[in-house]
Amino acid sequence: METRSTQKHIRISPRKVKIVLDLIRGKDVDTAMGILKNTPKAASPEILKLLTKVTADAENNFSMNRDNLYVSECFVGPGMTLKRLMPRAKGSADRILKRTSHITIAVAEKE
């Protein structure tokens, strides 16, 4: 059995989130949480919150054993992009793209 959870519109670029997700894919939940707590990336706290949420869902709603849980699947997709303008020389402007992410994590029980 697998449980998945999604967090949308996180104000971090998907490219930066993917680096952290690659570290925890396929690991036990406790090991993955330890990795996230000690990784100095901006995406780590957001992913840790989502992993805690999906682990609690698996325990409380689906009666899975926490000791047997592992991160079976995790991926990130692009969310909406906020467009902003930055003033430049001679009255012109440059476009600033503030990217967002949709993060999905799934945990499953080991057989």
111 has pLDDT over 90? no
pLDDT for 56:
95
- Give the torsion sign (CA, 48, 63, 30, 1): negative
- Helix, strand, coil % over all residues of the chain, rounded to 5: 40, 35, 25
CA atoms within 13 A on the CB side of 75: 3
1 has pLDDT over 90? no
Summarised one tens digit per residue, pLDDT across range 58-101 is 999 999 999 999 999 999 999 999 999 999 999 999 999 999 99
Predicted confidence band of residue 54 (pLDDT cuts 50, 70, 90):
very high
Burial 62-75 (b: 16+ CB within 10 A, else e): eebeeeebbbbebe
pLDDT for 41:
95
Average pLDDT, the chain: 95
